[in-house]
Amino acid sequence: MASRGGLRLVVLISGRGSNLGALITACEAGLAIEIAAAISNRPGAAGLQTAQQHGIACEVIDHQDYPGREAFDAALLACIEAYQPRLVVLAGFMRILGKSIVQHLAGRSINIHPSLLPAYTGFNTHERVLAAGDPEHGASIHFVSDELDGGPVISQVRMPVLAQDTAETLAARLLPLEHRLMVATVELFSEHSVEMRDDVIHVDKKPLPTPLVLDADGRLCRTADQ
């Protein structure tokens, strides 16, 4: 099992689980977390093999086995809570959660999204950044809310868009930065009190006016106005 004690996680995935892999690597390098389980809505998700190779419990709650979102959410929540996590990490989980499960997990579930939120919620973010001619791209980690990719943003990583970039090169350049952002943000939760109060994030009881930003050394920093 990928475990160093400390913050207990459940990670939700739908595909390759590369952010899960980054957390496993960080855990084995000394990050004080315990990955209690990896849960997928897709039986063939490659990330489940990664989890199994590291002795992490794996569960499949296939959305196709349920008549609707409410039944799926109920089964997923029961599976999550069986592991008693302090934090639920949506890492490439490609299902929109319903209001009941979101409310139940409020303040202890986070999601990573490949854009500088609030810009470009939803899908095809790399293509949309290029089409808009944006000079900058990045990824965000936010608390999960009822609104798609709309919860308060905790942290971000930024990178320039190059003249020769395509959607594929943008995605490839961003992915390792996503991994670093994920690890740094989970580390933040493991070492500090991170709370959501009335859609405002508080770190160690102090409000966070704007998201923390990942620096070149992989550390989350407050911006100058914080």
Contact 23/76 with Cβ under 8 angstroms?
Answer: no
The predicted structure's pLDDT at residue 224: 56
In a domain, 226, yes or no: no
Given the residues 54, 113, 142, 192, the one annotated as active site: 113
The predicted structure's pLDDT at residue 178: 98
Instruction: Give me the number of domains the chain comprises.
Output: 1
113 is catalytic: yes
Q: What is the DSSP string of the chain?
A: --B-SSEEEEEEESS--HHHHHHHHHHHTT--EEEEEEEESSTT-HHHHHHHHTT-EEEE--GGGSSSHHHHHHHHHHHHHHT--SEEEESS--SPPPHHHHHHTTTSEEEEESS-TTSS-SS-HHHHHHHHT-SEEEEEEEE--SSTT-SPEEEEEEEEPPTT--HHHHHHHHHHHHHHHHHHHHHHHHHS-EEEETTEEEETTEE-SS-EEE-TTS-EE--TT-
The predicted structure's pLDDT at residue 5: 75
Residue with tokens 């207990």: 8
* pLDDT, tens digit only, all 226 positions of the chain: 576 679 999 999 999 999 999 999 999 999 999 999 999 999 999 999 999 999 999 999 999 999 999 999 999 999 999 999 999 999 999 999 999 999 999 999 999 999 999 999 999 999 999 999 999 999 999 999 999 999 999 999 999 999 999 999 999 999 999 999 999 999 999 999 999 998 999 999 999 999 999 999 999 999 755 5
In a domain, 102, yes or no: yes
The angle at the Cα of 23, spanning 18 to 24, to the nearest 5 degrees, equals 95
In a domain, 165, yes or no: yes
In a domain, 98, yes or no: yes
The pTM score is 0.96
In a domain, 34, yes or no: yes
The predicted structure's pLDDT at residue 225: 55
Question: Which range of residues forms the domain containing residue 196?
Answer: 7-221
In a domain, 1, yes or no: no
Give the Cα separation of 42 and 113 in Å (integer).
19
In a domain, 169, yes or no: yes
CATH number for the domain spanning 102: value is 3.40.50.170
